[in-house]
Each structure stands twice: as C-alpha cells, then as structure tokens.
Amino acid sequence: MKHAFVTLVTNADYAMGAKALAQSIRQTGTKADIVVLHTGGITHSELAPLEGLGCQLIKVAHLPLSDAFNERHARRNLHGAAPFTKGRKPDFHTPLDNFCKLRLWQLVEYETCVFIDADALVLRNVDKLFGYPEFSAAPNVYESLADFHRLNSGVFVAKPSMETFDRMLAALDRSDAFWRRTDQTFLETFFPDWHGLPVFMNMLQYVWFNLPELWDWNSVCILHYQYEKPWEKDHPKMERLRPLIDLWHAVHDGAGIPDLSSMPKPKPSP
C-alpha cells in the first residue's frame, strides 16, 4: 500500500513554507512519500530545497474552469463578496490557486493521501491518518466552539480516484457557483458527511489566543498557521503568536522540533 503526504506550492512564499513542512514530516520517521504539487511561476532554485529533502515534485496546471467561474473567484471579487474579517490574508494569497488541491485525486498511484497546507508543521508522527476514511478533516475551530460544525481543508485524508476527480469538476463549475472559501467550502459541500479528525490534527494558530484551554502541547500533532504566515515581516498578530513563529523558524532553519514539553503555555486574550 502506497501512502503520501501531499502539499501545494503556488509561489515562492509557499515554497519556503513547504520546506519547513517537509523537514518536519521527515523528522517524524514516516516511510510515506512527500509529494509537492506546484504550479507555474516558481523557479527551480525555489523548489531545489524540496528536491533535496526527497520530495516528489509534480507540476500541475490550474483546473479547466470557465472564465465566468475564474472571474467570480478572482481575489478582488471573492474578497469583496466574502471578506475575511477574522484575520488578514497575505498579498501573495490567490484564491483560484486553492482549487489546485483537487489535483490530489489524480494521484492514483497512492491508496491514501494526507493533504497538509504548506503553512503548517507536523510536530509528531501522524501516519495513523492513513487509516482514516475519505473524506476526513478537522473542524475549523479557532474562535469559538460553534466552529466545530465547519471543516478546515488545511489537513484532510483522501483516496485518489479519477472517477471522484471527474465528479468534482462537474460539481465545481456549476452555473453561478460561488465557493466563498474556495476549496474548503466546496469540499464541505461535496462530502457532506465528512468524518471529523481530532482538532489536534489541524490546530489553527488563532486557538493560541482565542481558545487557550484547547491548546495542549502533548496532543498537538499538526500546527497550521492560518491567516498571517510565520515568515511574514511585522504582521499584525506577530507578538501574540511569538512562540509559534519562533517554532516555525527553528524548524525551517534546520534546528528540528524542540522538546514540546518545554514550550510556553498560551495565555487568554486580555
């Protein structure tokens, strides 16, 4: 049985994020492959560190979607119709790129894939995720317990299948379809009976200050830097997230995952 961790790189920033992610995955001792789907506009030198880590690089095109669909989901239009009010998306964020995640279902050489966004770190071995069914994802919890009914597509378990991929394309580009949170909203609709992963399998960084009682370093498996990215300079929440940002830089720079029991505990927002 072949398994793979899969991520998506659409620009130089996410190539940098994927390097830290791949290094963190390698440190868990997994035997699974690491596959990096990448779109155009990324230089070989930006992808070279991923090759050096033994990642399989697969170049992918954007999905064959209608002009009307692409116009509705262009950054200016999507953010205008469904603005982000909880946090700030960096300038390099391009909503249409997100739909390239669906290319994962074309990786039919693998029985099971675990997708992880490039703005994440794996802090301990998560190979058990390959035993979860399709479609499994953690809840989109970062502000209140009411968030448990929504999924976050930064980490999910899928079974590659061309039949599934074709059905996705047919469902995705329906007349006047508008997916306000792009792939996340689509996947939640396409898999209405999605299986819930533990929140620790996709711990969103805002939990650190919004729901500190949920944070447990002994349980957090995947840390996901949603909204502002840890490599950004002087972002609005930098000081509030300082321990998490320092952790990302340590992994990216090759220091490895530290002893998590020594990490500081979160404090409630003032």
Give the CATH number of the domain where residue 141 resides: 3.90.550.10
The answer to whether residue 236 sits within a structural domain is yes
| Token pair 């448990």: residue | 148
Q: Does residue 132 form part of some domain?
A: yes
Q: Is residue 168 in some structural domain?
A: yes
Judged by DSSP in three states, 67 sits in helix
Element (H, E) at 158: strand 151-158
Determine the Cα–Cα distance for residues 1 and 67; give it in Å rounded to an integer.
39
Residue span of the structural domain in which 78 resides? 3-262
pLDDT tens for 253-264 read 999 899 999 999
Residue 270 lies in a domain: no
Task: State pLDDT tens for residues 193-210.
Answer: 999 999 999 999 999 999
Instruction: Please tell me the predicted confidence (pLDDT) of residue 84.
Output: 43
Q: How many domains does the chain have?
A: 1
Question: Token pair of 95, please?
Answer: 């909503």
Segment among 115-129, 202-216, 255-269 with least mean pLDDT? 255-269
pLDDT of residue 1: 77
Question: Does 77 map to a domain?
Answer: yes
Tokens for 264, please give them. Answer: 């500081």
The amino acid at residue 150 is R
Select the more confidently predicted residue: 58 or 90: 58
Residue 92: pLDDT band with limits 50, 70, 90: very low
- The Cα–Cα gap between 218 and 137 comes to 20
Closest to 183 measured CA to CA, from 104, 106, 87, 81: 104
**Residue 267 falls within a domain, yes or no?**
no
Asked if residue 269 is part of any domain, the answer here is: no
Which of 112, 92, 17, 13 is closest to 55 using CA atoms? 17
Whether residue 137 is contained in a domain is answered as yes
